[in-house]
A and B are shown apart, each in its own frame.
Chain A
């Protein structure tokens, strides 16, 4: 089967740094994406890793280790507006369909 595991909830304070981990087991792997979803909204794309290493996009960075089937999203200088659900997703094949992780609810406190 296919699975992507994430911690269910993470709590942090404004200005802090938080890391959200994702371990995956899928039949195919083209890359790992990260999405943010506010309550009731659509997922918005944050980052994508096709190769091992760190990708940095502003306050957000994403890391991938294909040999470990592991990745993480790093959020720096947390703001209240970062409170949302975060999903990792594997791009698993030629059709580019996404298989989403279990999701992590991030709560940023003042």
Chain B
């Protein structure tokens, strides 16, 4: 099956610093990647949709200048949390789809961000 990896799996940073999270599709080309955020005991909230070679589409209420998304290749998308604050502490999950059917979306293992 299709495999999606994320790096790092967890990160702790100081308030005010920026953190970059990578999402890679390992055995397929991902034309579209999605970024989600999940707070403890809550659902996954879609942050943005990222298409290779074009600007990401952000969901309502998500600050595009704070959460920078780059999808420079068909196997890599990055999410940078700029000037992170404690309220940004969360579980960030990416997913990817290639040319598969409409229900085929493969999730990465997630990155747990803790901002001190």
Binding site for B on A (CB under 8 A): 30-31, 33, 40-45, 48, 50, 87, 91, 95-103, 105
Which listed residue (B42, B57, B93, B97) contacts A103, Cβ 8 A? Answer: B42
Q: How far is the CA of A53 from the CA of B108 in the complex (A)?
A: 30
Residue of B nearest to A4 (CB): B43
| B109 and A41 contact, CB distance less than 8 A | yes
B interface residues, Cβ below 8 angstroms from A: 32, 34, 36, 41-46, 49, 57, 91, 93, 95, 97, 102-110, 112
Complex Cα gap A79–B66 (Å): 43
A-B contact number at CB 8 A: 56
A44 partner residues in chain B, CB cutoff 8 A: 107
Shortest Cβ-Cβ A-B pairs, 10 listed: A48-B103, A42-B107, A100-B44, A100-B43, A103-B43, A42-B109, A43-B107, A97-B49, A95-B49, A96-B102
Residue from A30, A31, A42, A102 within 8 A of B108 (CB atoms):
A42
Cβ-defined partner of A96 (8 Å) among B36, B41, B43, B97: B97
Supplied contacts A40-B91, A98-B105, A99-B46, 19 more A-B pairs, CB within 8 Å: A30-B102, A31-B103, A33-B105, A42-B108, A42-B110, A43-B93, A45-B103, A87-B44, A95-B49, A96-B32, A96-B102, A96-B105, A97-B34, A98-B46, A98-B95, A100-B43, A100-B44, A100-B45, A102-B43
